């Protein structure tokens, strides 16, 4: 058990996997410069800087993956993926299927996103839902350094393209990481806190917001379970449905925009498959349908807040929950600014 930041945990995972499997290599803009220790350990063939060209970085990863390598590419910040969509979605996500199974794409695409640094909407845009919606891809977005390491190792060993989103707000927050090179399988959610009245479902930074909210709700006598999805695709439907059926009340929280986000999927899933168990509507607390502003106070206001979760939780779990909630929902739900 050691204390590492998320970035350090990812570096450890990369080093361990590159050590284990000589087909693993990493490239991207500044990868060889910023991950000097990897360069020194594995040499310039396997740790490469690239020109500024996200399109061909993604395409090259797909071409290399299909022919026997296991590339990890760092595309830096999620909005830059807009230059890499063809390689990821049209090639890596589809050519396995379109070729009748002739090719596999064991590759990992790493990108940061989320509030915390005030970098603005062209560096911070939570796009994970795009890739959940696209076929042939897997998507993870961890909330702890331990998960960063375990999920990165699993992503590298997976034979499919995996999008690995790192929440900026967590990048330098230290946490305990098991030394044993443990792997966290893709597609497994984690219950971060047991509860009986209400389930808070989230991923990445806002898992911690949910834990704070659960603490506050406990003070009000509401027992909230907190489920950390960890993987967004495959989604751990069993864990989601089990908790929803247990508590009968669900709030989904994420920083990404509300419309067609992961929260919409979770809410739809729960409402479709756990309908009989629901005591109240599934509520979404998300970032607004807006680009992320740079100004610090605005950026903070953009991110789902503890008190919004608490008040929604009280509406849901309180006696006259449903009515109060529908009224609130009429007013546009808990989306900031909405």
Partner 1 sequence: MPFQPHRPSRLDLLAAMVRIRAYEERIVAFHAQGPFPNVCTSVGQEAAAVGVVSALGPEDQILTNHRSAGHLLARGADPGRLLAEVMGRATGYCKGRSGTLHVSARELGVLLTSTIVGGELSLAPGVALTRTMLGGEGIVVCFFGDGAACEGIFHESLNLASVWNLPILYVCENNQWQAFVHRTETMVGDPIAAWAASYGMESRVVDGNDVEAVFDAACHAAGQVRATRRPYLLEATTYRQRGHMEPHDQSYVDPAEIEAWLAKDPISRLEARLLEGGELSLQGLQAIRSEAQAVMDEAAAFALASPFPDPAELTAHVYA
Ligand X SMILES: Cc1ncc(C[n+]2csc(CCOP(=O)(O)OP(=O)(O)O)c2C)c(N)n1
Site for its own copies in 101-140 (CB under 8 A): 120-122, 125, 129-130, 132-136
Among 44, 45, 51, 52, binds ligand X (CB under 6 A): 52
Residue 29 interacts with ligand X (CB under 6 A): yes or no: yes
Rounded CA gap, 136 and 114, in Å? 24
Rounded CA gap, 192 and 189, in Å? 9
Q: How far is the CB of 49 from partner 1 (least distance, A)?
A: 5
- Which residue number, 122 or 271, has a Cβ lying nearer to ligand X? 122
Residue 307 interacts with partner 1 (CB under 8 A): yes or no: no
Segment 204 to 233, residues that bind its own copies, using CB under 8 A? 233
Among 23, 34, 94, 193, binds its own copies (CB under 8 A): 94
Strands 250-257 and 24-28: unpaired
Strands 138-140 and 231-233: antiparallel
254 catalytic? Reply is no
Q: How far is the CB of 165 from partner 1 (least distance, A)?
A: 18
**Element holding 190 (H helix, E strand):** strand 190-193
Residue of minimal CB distance from ligand X?
80
- The vertex-82 CA angle with 81 and 84, nearest 5°, equals 60
Binding mask 256-295 for partner 1 (x = CB under 8 A): --------------------------------xxxx-xxx
Q: What are phi and psi of 12, to 5 degrees?
A: -65, -45
DSSP per residue, 40-63? HHHHHHHEEE--S-HHHHHHHHHH
Neighbouring C-alpha atoms within 13 Å toward the C-beta of 92: 33
Residue 128 interacts with ligand X (CB under 6 A): yes or no: no
Interface residues with ligand X (CB under 6 A)?
29, 52, 54, 76, 80, 83
Catalytic residues: 123
């Amino acid at each position: 058990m050691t204390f590492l930041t998320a970035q350090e945990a990812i570096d450890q995972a990369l080093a361990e996997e590159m050590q284990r499997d000589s087909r693993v290599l990493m490239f991207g803009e500044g990868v060889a410069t910023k991950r000097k220790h990897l360069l020194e350990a594995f040499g310039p063939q396997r740790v490469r800087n690239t020109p500024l060209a996200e399109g061909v970085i993604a395409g090259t990863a797909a071409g290399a993956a299909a022919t026997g390598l296991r590339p990890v590419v760092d595309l830096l910040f999620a909005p830059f993926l807009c230059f890499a969509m063809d390689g990821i979605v049209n090639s890596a996500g589809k050519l396995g299927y379109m070729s009748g199974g002739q090719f596999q794409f064991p590759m990992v695409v790493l990108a940061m996103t989320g509030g915390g640094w005030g970098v603005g909407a062209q560096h911070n845009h939570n796009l994970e839902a795009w890739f959940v919606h696209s076929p042939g891809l897997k998507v993870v977005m961890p909330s702890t350094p331990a998960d960063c390491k375990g999920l990165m190792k699993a992503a590298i060993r997976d034979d499919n393209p995996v999008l690995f989103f790192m929440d900026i707000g967590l990048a330098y927050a230290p946490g305990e990481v098991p030394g044993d090179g443990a792997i966290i399988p893709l597609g497994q959610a984690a219950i971060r806190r047991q509860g009986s009245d209400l389930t808070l479902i989230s991923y990445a930074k806002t898992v911690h917001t949910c834990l704070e909210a659960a603490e506050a709700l406990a003070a009000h006598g509401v027992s909230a379970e907190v489920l950390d999805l960890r993987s967004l695709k495959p989604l751990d439907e069993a864990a989601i449905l089990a908790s929803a059926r247990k508590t009968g009340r669900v709030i989904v929280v994420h920083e990404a925009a509300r419309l067609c986000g992961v929260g919409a999927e979770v809410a739809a899933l729960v409402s479709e498959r756990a309908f009989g168990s629901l005591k109240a509507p599934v509520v979404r607390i998300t970032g607004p349908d807006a680009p992320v502003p740079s100004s610090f106070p605005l950026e903070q206001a953009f991110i789902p807040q503890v008190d919004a979760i608490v008040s929604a939780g009280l509406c849901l779990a309180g006696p006259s929950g449903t009515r109060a909630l529908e009224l609130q929902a009429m007013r546009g739900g808990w989306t900031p600014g909405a």
